[in-house]
Amino acid sequence: MDQQKELQEVLAQIKAMGVSQTQMLQIMDIASVQSIQHAINDLKKTAPEDEFTAIESLFKEKIEDQQVLKQNIDTLFNRTYGDKAQDRKIFLLVKYLKEYIQLVKQTVDLGKRYADGDPDVVQMIEDAKKDPLFDELVNKMKNSMPQ
């Protein structure tokens, strides 16, 4: 399947889940950051240390100018993947977006199983509630899930 078409299909699946435009942008930002980190890790394996450090430094500070950010991302992907840079960019975005879809599906399934009284899931949730990070995680999920 054409990668651009696959990307559009994955985005349509996410939108069909009830994700708002704002949430979609947040999801895309996270997928983009993950893709950039993946490319940086791949570059580290192949580039000389000085070249790697120079390209990595392009991402050390927050970049407000979208044109500069795009140029830095293009530099990273072109150096890391050569002629396959654009294909790899889309591939990584699709990969992370599919992981998001899978995570949401698993979360919804877990919620349904909990509501249905599945003893294993109920016990798992009750055990998790004892962890101090549980409330923080629940609040983050409430703020990021589709309404």
Residue 81 has what pLDDT? 97
pLDDT one-digit tens code per residue, 9-35: 999 999 999 888 898 999 999 999 999
Question: What is the pTM for the complete model shown?
Answer: 0.80
Under 8 Å between Cβ of 137 and 130: no
Residues making up the chain, counted from first to last: 147
- How high is the mean pLDDT of the chain? 90
Residue 55 has what pLDDT? 93
To the nearest whole percent, how much of the chain has pLDDT over 70? 97
Tell me the Ramachandran region of residue 2: left when phi exceeds 0, alpha when psi lies from -120 to 50, beta otherwise: beta
Instruction: State the total domains in the chain.
Output: 1
pLDDT one-digit tens code per residue, 71-111: 999 999 999 999 999 999 999 999 999 999 999 899 889 98
Q: Which domain holds residue 130?
A: 3-144
Q: pLDDT-derived band of residue 144, with 50, 70 and 90 as boundaries?
A: low
Under 8 Å between Cβ of 20 and 27: no
Rounded to a whole number of angstroms, the CA Rg of the chain reads 19
| Predicted confidence (pLDDT) at residue 147 exceeds the cutoff of 70 | no
